[in-house]
Amino acid sequence: MGQRLCNHIKQNGALCEAVALRESDCCYFHHRSREREGLRVRLGGPPQASAATGIELPLLEDNNSIQVALQQILEALLDRRIDPRRAALMLYGLQTAIGNLRHTRFQPLSGRFVQSLV
């Protein structure tokens, strides 16, 4: 039996396809991302799109997700759902993410990877 693969769907519709953790349907990266999102919700953050702004930022893991986030922020600014100061801060965050993409790699560098958190 082959290794199970991560079932996270990226913004472009492609599956992640990294090796999934034994106790999860996701790879280490996406499993931890979902844990962080769960914590955010428990601490009072919105579980989906913010009711006030309608913005649902994707996980900023590639150029496609950054483009989707940029589109949502610009539409919210245009529709006056967010103020220019908040938009500027969010756009600065996206600019930082774009710069970081050149130096990040979310796939394992070798055949070694985490298979279990237990």
**Domain residues of the chain, as ranges?**
1-45, 46-101
Q: What is the pLDDT of residue 47?
A: 60
Which distant-in-sequence residues (6+ apart) come within 8 Å of 33 by Cβ? 59
Inform me whether the pLDDT recorded for 115 exceeds 90: no
Q: Where are the alpha helices (DSSP H) in 25-83?
A: 28-42, 63-78
Task: Tell me the per-residue pLDDT of 32-66, one tens digit each, with 9 for 90 and over.
Answer: 999 988 887 777 776 666 667 788 888 888 899 99
Average pLDDT on 83-89 reads 95
Q: What is the pLDDT of residue 39?
A: 83
Angle in degrees, CA 57, 63, 66, rounded to 5: 25
Q: What is the pLDDT of residue 23?
A: 87
